[in-house]
Chains A and B, each alone.
Chain A
Amino acid sequence: MNKKLFALLSVIMIASMALAACGGQKTEVPAATDEPTTAPTDAPTAEPTAPPTAEPTPIPDVPIATYDGTSLSVAECGNGYTGFIKSVVAQDANTVVFTLCKSDPAFLSKIAFSPFSIYPQEWIESTAGDETRTSEGLEHPVGTGPYMVSEWKRGESVTFTANPDYWGEAPAAETLVFRWSSESAARLLELQAGTIDGFDNPGPDDFATIQADSTLQLSLRPALNVFYIGMTNTFAPFDNVKVRQAIAQGIDRQRIVDTFYPVGSEVASHFTPCSIPNACDGDAWYDFDPAAAKALLAEAGFPDGFATKLYFRDVVRGYLPQVSSVAQDIQSQLKENLNIDAEIVVMESGAFIEESGAGRLDGLYLLGWGADYPHITNFLDYHFGQATQQFGAIPAAIYEPIALGATIADPAEAAPVYTEANNAIRELVPMIPIAHGGSAVAYRADVVNPQASPLTSESFFATDPGGRDVFVWMQNAEPISMFCADETDGESLRACEQVTEALYSYEINGTATHPALAESCTPNEDLTVWTCALRQGVTFHDGSTFDAADVVATFNMGLNIGSPFHVGNTNLWEYYDYLWGLMKKPGG
């Protein structure tokens, strides 16, 4: 018996080693050529050591910042450092100066973004764990905001209580509760039952139900996003501009918006939504014209259409609330209008983003973009900059004016440049913008000052739940953590925004910026030095006083990769990295 067992065990061991070896090849670790060729049977150790050459040792980035409590700076811009910020200095207790490496017309829009909220210096230091924030740091943020976290019952709810010492207008409800459910039908039912006061993202088909119900109200959220059909121009037949133009004219975009999008959505006239300055300079998109489209396609050499694929991921976003239905409709339109046979391929979300971003999808794909901050650079530069690969090779006619536009602060001055850029996009069709998807927030009818922020950052202190003490809010998902300096997920950010504040904030229900923890931030002439005068007499939830050192400490935590306090949840500091650039140089 024992003998048998031992034999079995060793067989499973060997099988496991074989399997593990296959896995190793999958991750493309170079094959170990210099591994001694001993029989595999004599090495069933629990922790096999990898041969030294098997893994290219990654060269870590080098920290370059110096921080002394009142100033955070790098020695020089450029020379390997690609970030925006040269220094953050506390000039006195109530003044902070940001010196930038290049002029930044979007500075205020960016600084108001909630990941850059200010934390007390002592808290930053005391909640820094070895590798990540301590669970205290991840779950009980300390800020200056109108609410404080009182309890986070994982999997169920987060409860906030009003901050009695709030510097601004006192919150209308004493207690705020966040709940979540991924099913819009369930969220609606909860509201109808009166167990919640408001919920995010009603299903597009429920808009009418809510509007017809006198006990409920609907706030439409302006569309600050875009849904487009992407193509990679390095694959045939999409390398032919006529094919791209044909598809652009052969899709009835109005029908898609009318059938599948909620009220408040619109057919995209340009890539960037028009509420953003300069977005809609230049000609509007093509009209739907199947005959012209068919002719163009014939001219391009495909009178009978062709076969291709239609890739998407089954993930609901504001810009694409009914993915699968829209995909099926586009598929049937392609067939009907252009005789193009598009086979639907649903991909896993991560793989889809990776493949499309690298320009490796050989067919059409459905993707979109939601604004991080309300500025045209957030739309155009990301998608049509020279380095972008997701549409194949971006023509110079498109990326040159975009690069120029990013250095001009005054929208009027930038208008001719963006006209050129938008017209080039229309002419060369790197993708087909379809819609700006509206969404909404539903509330009970007695809720006063209902909110639906275009940036999905509702601040509930300003919303009164009909005189009740508790305001219950239901969103799509649970926050991942509440340490939002190192978080990107919108559901997490919204929870943090009740608790922490940045130097500026976005106006309620809008995108304009207002002073928050700063009373003002004023630039020098070429927009490279921003001097912020801080609000005085503000205290954090832990009782400490807010001053300039807290601001510098916060940016040190976010930007300085050499700091012992540069630990968060994922430790990627994505928004710090993406909007400002971490203070580092490539090593080696």
Chain B
Amino acid sequence: MMIQYILRRILTSIPVLFGILLVTFALARLIPGDPCRAILGEKATDAVCDRFIREKGLDKPIMTQFGIYIGEIARGDFGNSIRYSLPVTRLLEERLPTTVELSFAALLIAMLVGIPLGVISAVKHNSWVDVVTMIWANTGVSMPVFWLGLMLAYVFSLLLKDTPFWLPPSGRVSPGIPDDPFFEVWKLTLPETGFVTTLCNFISRLNILNALLTGNWELLKDSIQHLILPAVALGTIPMALIARMARSSMLDVLGQDYIRTARAKGLKNGRVIVKHAFRNSLLPLVTVIGLSLGSLLGGAVLTETIFGLSGVGRILYDAITARDYGIVQAFTVVIAVFFVALNLLVDISYAYLDPRIRLD
């Protein structure tokens, strides 16, 4: 029954995936303006541009281009960036770690602050803690990410200059800080190419993880300093959402009979909250957390712009402006597939927890 349900859900995502490919391709081609001058600059002559269009295969009929694109994707080949003459997979390998690190840091902050706040305000329902938290949570979801980012930079990079609270306004790591990848420190020899090498490269670019793996405390401190501001800016909206959700589902659970029973049995209040109430209010929370991981990517465009990080959001925005079809198509597809997979996981976990859904 369960397996059947999972299979069915996977099967129904196939047309969605195909639709994603189609929309991505169509959007990329519908963007007006030619990629030639966007990439080569205003001084490119018509003759040069004609040559460029031919070089990059952009003069082929649209249908043929779509066919080639689908064929390449099916073979796991994302093609080349028009602008950098590099395989898009390599760009992904370089840019993804920045965004992954940023998103996870943001989510971590959101959870570490959001969940306790939500729980406390539910437990201390209607107290001043509750009121303050909820006003704050509502303000949090209402803040434009770019504004919050700029304001944080203003406060922490300028006003708090020459204090221990100063934080750098941009970049991922200060120059001159050694950041040898873990496989070099461990003296591992990697094959020239292949999945393992790609994976190791990817991991080594996650600065914090790499610093932990190699015991490089200087890099760890520096990376964390650089990460705090963008992560807080990006994490504020999910933090507020999580706090709200934690509060309301906690309230729901606290009102249920078995909690009253537990209390009536004489269990200590703290124990009831942690052991019974909190655990049972987790389910809706997991959903919110899972889904906000996806929406973080949209906010990442703005955060990365403000904090000078070259991650996925930034390169995608630049690629849209530059009409670099290769990057637009590949990166969007990767993000969208990630979204679909996330949704699938959420649905399946729901079905697992609530068997009634499977019958739908």
Decide: B174 and A20 in contact? CB cutoff 8 A.
no
Decide: B43 and A47 in contact? CB cutoff 8 A.
no
Residue of B nearest to A575 (CB): B43
Query: How far apart are the CA atoms of A192 and B26 in the complex, in Å?
Result: 46
Residue of A nearest to B68 (CB): A47
Decide: B171 and A156 in contact? CB cutoff 8 A.
yes
Other-chain residue from B32, B85, B94 in contact with A569 (beta carbon distance below 8 A): B85
Say yes or no: is B60 at the interface (Cβ < 8 Å to chain A).
yes
- Chain B stretch 285-344: residues in CB contact (< 8 A) with chain A: 305-308, 310-311, 321, 323
Other-chain residue from B60, B175, B176 in contact with A55 (beta carbon distance below 8 A): B60
Query: How far apart are the CA atoms of A58 and B22 in the complex, in Å?
Result: 29
Query: How far apart are the CA atoms of A571 and B15 in the complex, in Å?
Result: 38
Query: How far apart are the CA atoms of A578 and B48 in the complex, in Å?
Result: 9
Decide: A58 and B59 in contact? CB cutoff 8 A.
yes
Question: B37 to chain A: which residues have CB within 8 Å?
Answer: 349-350, 353-354
Query: How far apart are the CA atoms of A19 and B66 in the complex, in Å?
Result: 11
Question: B249 to chain A: which residues have CB within 8 Å?
Answer: none
CB distance from B228 to the nearest CB of A (A): 15
Say yes or no: is B173 at the interface (Cβ < 8 Å to chain A).
yes
Question: A412 to chain B: which residues have CB within 8 Å?
Answer: none
Residue of B nearest to A58 (CB): B54
Decide: B171 and A179 in contact? CB cutoff 8 A.
yes
Question: A27 to chain B: which residues have CB within 8 Å?
Answer: 59, 61-62
Decide: A8 and B63 in contact? CB cutoff 8 A.
no
Question: A133 to chain B: which residues have CB within 8 Å?
Answer: 85
Say yes or no: is A316 at the interface (Cβ < 8 Å to chain B).
no
Residue of A nearest to B66 (CB): A20
Question: B59 to chain A: which residues have CB within 8 Å?
Answer: 27, 55, 58
| Known pairs A48-B64, A179-B175, A183-B306; A135 contacts B86 (CB<8 A) | yes
CB distance from A243 to the nearest CB of B (A): 27
Query: How far apart are the CA atoms of A353 and B322 in the complex, in Å?
Result: 13
Say yes or no: is B257 at the interface (Cβ < 8 Å to chain A).
no
| Known pairs A12-B22, A47-B67, A351-B32; A572 contacts B85 (CB<8 A) | no
Contact with B along A325-356 (1 / 0, CB 8 A): 00000000000000000000000111101100
Other-chain residue from A5, A353, A481 in contact with B15 (beta carbon distance below 8 A): A5
Of the candidates A50, A157, A354, the one having the most CB atoms from chain B within 10 angstroms of its own CB is: A354
Question: A156 to chain B: which residues have CB within 8 Å?
Answer: 171-173, 310
Majority-rule SS of A interface residues: mixed
Decide: A195 and B174 in contact? CB cutoff 8 A.
yes
Query: How far apart are the CA atoms of A8 and B68 in the complex, in Å?
Result: 23
Question: A354 to chain B: which residues have CB within 8 Å?
Answer: 33-34, 37
Say yes or no: is B110 at the interface (Cβ < 8 Å to chain A).
no
Query: How far apart are the CA atoms of A438 and B117 in the complex, in Å?
Result: 53
| Known pairs A12-B18, A12-B19, A572-B40; A189 contacts B158 (CB<8 A) | yes
Decide: B41 and A488 in contact? CB cutoff 8 A.
yes
Query: How far apart are the CA atoms of A185 and B66 in the complex, in Å?
Result: 42
Decide: A16 and B52 in contact? CB cutoff 8 A.
no
Contact with B along A505-543 (1 / 0, CB 8 A): 000000000000000000000000000000000000000
Decide: A186 and B32 in contact? CB cutoff 8 A.
no
Contact with B along A158-191 (1 / 0, CB 8 A): 0100000000000000000101111101100110
Say yes or no: is B267 at the interface (Cβ < 8 Å to chain A).
no
Question: B358 to chain A: which residues have CB within 8 Å?
Answer: none
Query: How far apart are the CA atoms of A349 and B50 in the complex, in Å?
Result: 18
| Known pairs A47-B71, A478-B310; A20 contacts B15 (CB<8 A) | no
Query: How far apart are the CA atoms of A177 and B177 in the complex, in Å?
Result: 12
Say yes or no: is A75 at the interface (Cβ < 8 Å to chain B).
no
Say yes or no: is B30 at the interface (Cβ < 8 Å to chain A).
yes
Decide: A16 and B22 in contact? CB cutoff 8 A.
yes
Of the candidates B22, B43, B61, B308, the one having the most CB atoms from chain A within 10 angstroms of its own CB is: B61
Say yes or no: is B70 at the interface (Cβ < 8 Å to chain A).
yes
Majority-rule SS of B interface residues: helix
Decide: A155 and B95 in contact? CB cutoff 8 A.
yes
CB distance from B10 to the nearest CB of A (A): 12
CB distance from B12 to the nearest CB of A (A): 8
Decide: A489 and B41 in contact? CB cutoff 8 A.
yes
Query: How far apart are the CA atoms of A196 and B308 in the complex, in Å?
Result: 14
Decide: A46 and B71 in contact? CB cutoff 8 A.
yes
Interface stretch (choices B162-170, B238-246, B274-282): B162-170
Other-chain residue from B41, B68, B98, B161 in contact with A193 (beta carbon distance below 8 A): B161
Contact with A along B1-44 (1 / 0, CB 8 A): 00000001001101100110010001001101111111111111
Other-chain residue from A17, A135, A181 in contact with B308 (beta carbon distance below 8 A): A181
| Known pairs A12-B19, A155-B95, A574-B40; A23 contacts B83 (CB<8 A) | no
| Known pairs A12-B18, A23-B26, A572-B52; A181 contacts B170 (CB<8 A) | yes
Contact with B along A554-579 (1 / 0, CB 8 A): 00000000000000011110100110
CB distance from B313 to the nearest CB of A (A): 12
Query: How far apart are the CA atoms of A569 and B326 in the complex, in Å?
Result: 15
| Known pairs A46-B70, A189-B169; A9 contacts B158 (CB<8 A) | no
Question: A195 to chain B: which residues have CB within 8 Å?
Answer: 168, 171, 174-175
CB distance from B261 to the nearest CB of A (A): 44
Say yes or no: is A78 at the interface (Cβ < 8 Å to chain B).
no
Say yes or no: is B157 at the interface (Cβ < 8 Å to chain A).
yes
- Chain A stretch 471-521: residues in CB contact (< 8 A) with chain B: 472, 478, 480-481, 488-489
Query: How far apart are the CA atoms of A545 and B28 in the complex, in Å?
Result: 48
Question: A481 to chain B: which residues have CB within 8 Å?
Answer: 84-85
Decide: A190 and B170 in contact? CB cutoff 8 A.
yes
Decide: A480 and B63 in contact? CB cutoff 8 A.
no
Decide: A23 and B30 in contact? CB cutoff 8 A.
yes
Of the candidates B14, B48, B68, B311, the one having the most CB atoms from chain A within 10 angstroms of its own CB is: B48
Say yes or no: is A29 at the interface (Cβ < 8 Å to chain B).
yes
Decide: A9 and B15 in contact? CB cutoff 8 A.
yes
Decide: B85 and A193 in contact? CB cutoff 8 A.
no
Say yes or no: is A24 at the interface (Cβ < 8 Å to chain B).
yes
| Known pairs A353-B42, A570-B85; A189 contacts B52 (CB<8 A) | no
CB distance from B53 to the nearest CB of A (A): 9
Query: How far apart are the CA atoms of A470 and B176 in the complex, in Å?
Result: 8
Other-chain residue from A155, A350, A372 in contact with B94 (beta carbon distance below 8 A): A155
Say yes or no: is B125 at the interface (Cβ < 8 Å to chain A).
no
Say yes or no: is A127 at the interface (Cβ < 8 Å to chain B).
no
Question: A415 to chain B: which residues have CB within 8 Å?
Answer: none
Say yes or no: is B360 at the interface (Cβ < 8 Å to chain A).
no
Question: B30 to chain A: which residues have CB within 8 Å?
Answer: 23, 26
Say yes or no: is A323 at the interface (Cβ < 8 Å to chain B).
no
Other-chain residue from A50, A138, A489 in contact with B64 (beta carbon distance below 8 A): A50
Say yes or no: is A39 at the interface (Cβ < 8 Å to chain B).
no
Say yes or no: is B127 at the interface (Cβ < 8 Å to chain A).
no
Other-chain residue from A155, A189, A192, A574 in contact with B43 (beta carbon distance below 8 A): A574
| Known pairs A16-B22, A54-B61, A183-B308; A190 contacts B38 (CB<8 A) | no
Question: B168 to chain A: which residues have CB within 8 Å?
Answer: 190, 193, 195
Decide: B161 and A192 in contact? CB cutoff 8 A.
yes
CB distance from B350 to the nearest CB of A (A): 20
Query: How far apart are the CA atoms of A578 and B46 in the complex, in Å?
Result: 12
- 28 residue pairs A–B, Cβ–Cβ below 8 Å: A5-B11, A9-B18, A12-B18, A17-B63, A23-B26, A46-B70, A46-B71, A50-B61, A55-B59, A58-B59, A132-B85, A135-B86, A155-B95, A179-B175, A183-B170, A186-B169, A189-B158, A189-B169, A349-B42, A350-B36, A353-B37, A470-B175, A478-B310, A480-B83, A489-B41, A572-B44, A572-B48, A577-B45
Top 3 nearest A-B pairs by Cβ distance?
A155-B310, A47-B67, A181-B308
Give the interface of B toward A (CB within 8 A): 8, 11-12, 14-15, 18-19, 22, 26, 29-30, 32-45, 48, 50-52, 54-55, 59-64, 66-68, 70-71, 83-86, 91, 94-95, 98, 153, 157-158, 161, 166, 168-176, 305-308, 310-311, 321, 323
Known contacts A27-B61, A182-B308; 8 additional CB pairs below 8 A are A9-B14, A138-B86, A155-B94, A354-B37, A478-B310, A569-B85, A574-B43, A574-B44
